[in-house]
Amino acid sequence: MPGVIQPAESQEPRGHYSHGMRVGDLVFVSGQLPMDAAGIPQSGLPIEAQVDLALTNLDTVLRAAGTTRDRVVKVNVYITDIALWDRVNSRYALFFGTHRPARAIIPVGPLHFGCGIEIDAVAEC
């Protein structure tokens, strides 16, 4: 049976989804937006700060699931402007360091709350 992951320090999702689901030895992390701990979108920040915040939120879900960023195997990064790729990639590389999970960067239309980025992932437990 899948297990719902709801980090204690994160707001309950506003929509009909969970921050993450654990199934066997895998954790599926829902798309993480650049939202602060109070659940307030930070879409007015520069893209680098939005990336850092979305990745911090990803880290929070991973920790709540009992795993770490070094166990992430796949990441999808959704950005509203492909011209931001280099700036997003540099912050992403700082976050993951030498660990290089499989990844797709996907240019998309507008994201919820006017955010410039959303990140989801799959990790091993």
In a domain, 4, yes or no: no
In a domain, 34, yes or no: yes
In a domain, 110, yes or no: yes
Q: What range defines the domain where residue 69 resides?
A: 18-124
In a domain, 45, yes or no: yes
In a domain, 10, yes or no: no
For residue 33, what is the domain's CATH number?
Answer: 3.30.1330.40
Q: How far are the Cα atoms of 9, 46, 119 from residue 116, in angstroms, in the given order?
A: 23, 9, 11
Residues 6+ apart with CB under 8 A from 62: 20, 27, 29, 68, 69, 71, 72, 121, 123
Please report, rounded to a whole number, the percentage of residues in the chain having pLDDT higher than 90: 87
State pLDDT tens for residues 1-60: 579 998 888 888 888 999 999 999 999 999 999 999 888 999 999 999 999 999 999 999
Confidence of residue 117 (pLDDT cuts 50, 70, 90): very high
Higher pLDDT, 38 or 117: 117
In a domain, 64, yes or no: yes
**pLDDT confidence of residue 1:** 59
The number of distinct structural domains making up the chain is 1
In a domain, 11, yes or no: no
Answer for the pair 65, 121: CB distance below 8 angstroms, yes or no.
Answer: no
Residues 6+ apart with CB under 8 A from 38: 11
In a domain, 3, yes or no: no
